[in-house]
Amino acid sequence: MKIRVINPNTSASMTAKIGAAARAVAAPGTVIEAVNPSFGAASIEDHLDDVWAAAGVAEQVRTGQAEGADAFVIACFGDPGLHAAREIATGPVIGIAEAAFHAATLLATGFSVVTTLTRTCVIAEHLVLQYGFERRCRGIHGTDIAVLDLEDPASMAFERILAASKQALEQDRSEAIVLGCAGMADLCHALQDRLGVPVIDGVGAAVKFAESLVSLKLATSKIGDYAAPLAKSYAGLAGPFSPG
């Protein structure tokens, strides 16, 4: 099966990192196609970045759908464009935040999210509420590490995420950590070894959920809310995205 893993930001190095994390967990018969949009922000850290990221995801789902992708993963913790992507795609579309929340609740009664900039915490809070995980998510913690600084050893990202995770487990009385950024995927196992609790990277979780659903011959429901977008022409800049 072919899974298109979309990094919604335009950082090529982050797309490569996400692709590697996806391939590390994929089954032997799974082809991972790691892509990013042709436009948008190099990191997604606020609502404006998120707007462009959602359009970028729509671009990549459209082309992936035309090229026969069996499933899609949206590899940014804000799950930008998730619902629109489910309208466009016929196969499953999994956002890394929703996937990580589900995985965490199968492993612990309460989890904490450790993320990047503190200002992104509200975006994660909105998702927790939207997906109905408010009874299981016990806290959301910013580290004030910028997304692109995760790749810079001088940021001491691992040590800072480790410290924030320890504090979160204690303060929130939680039993698992959800990593709040796709760019943290490579830190997941080392953090889990140090913390001694499940540490969930949404990229890996989303790839495995996508594989499971495709293997089970399950796809996005096409009646009602996720039916194909209405055929219409969009004006101006949005013209190339017109669904009809």
Provide the binding-site residues for ligand 2AL, judged by CB under 6 A: 9, 43-45, 76-77, 115-116, 120, 147, 180-183
CB of 238 to ligand 2AL, least distance (A): 22
| Alpha-carbon distances, residue 218 vs 85, 103, 136, 150, 198 (angstroms) | 16, 18, 26, 35, 27
Q: Which residues pair with 114 in a beta bridge?
A: 141, 179
Take residue 101 and report the two structure tokens written for it.
């929340």
CB of 221 to ligand 2AL, least distance (A): 26
CB of 154 to ligand 2AL, least distance (A): 19
Q: Which residues pair with 177 in a beta bridge?
A: 112, 199
Torsion of CA 142, 143, 149, 153, to 10 degrees: -150
- What would the DSSP string read from start to end of 193-240? HHH-S-EE-HHHHHHHHHHHHHHTT-----SGGGSPPPP-PPPGGGGG
Closest CB to ligand 2AL among residues 115, 165: 115
CB 165 within 8 Å of CB 177: yes
Closest CB to ligand 2AL among residues 44, 58: 44
CB of 236 to ligand 2AL, least distance (A): 26
**What is the rounded distance in angstroms from the CA atom of residue 133 to the CA atom of residue 99?**
12
Closest CB to ligand 2AL among residues 99, 181: 181
Closest CB to ligand 2AL among residues 147, 161: 147
Q: Which residues pair with 73 in a beta bridge?
A: 5, 94
CB 195 within 8 Å of CB 166: yes
Closest CB to ligand 2AL among residues 45, 59: 45
CB of 146 to ligand 2AL, least distance (A): 8
CB of 11 to ligand 2AL, least distance (A): 7
3-state SS, residue 106: coil
Closest CB to ligand 2AL among residues 100, 176: 100
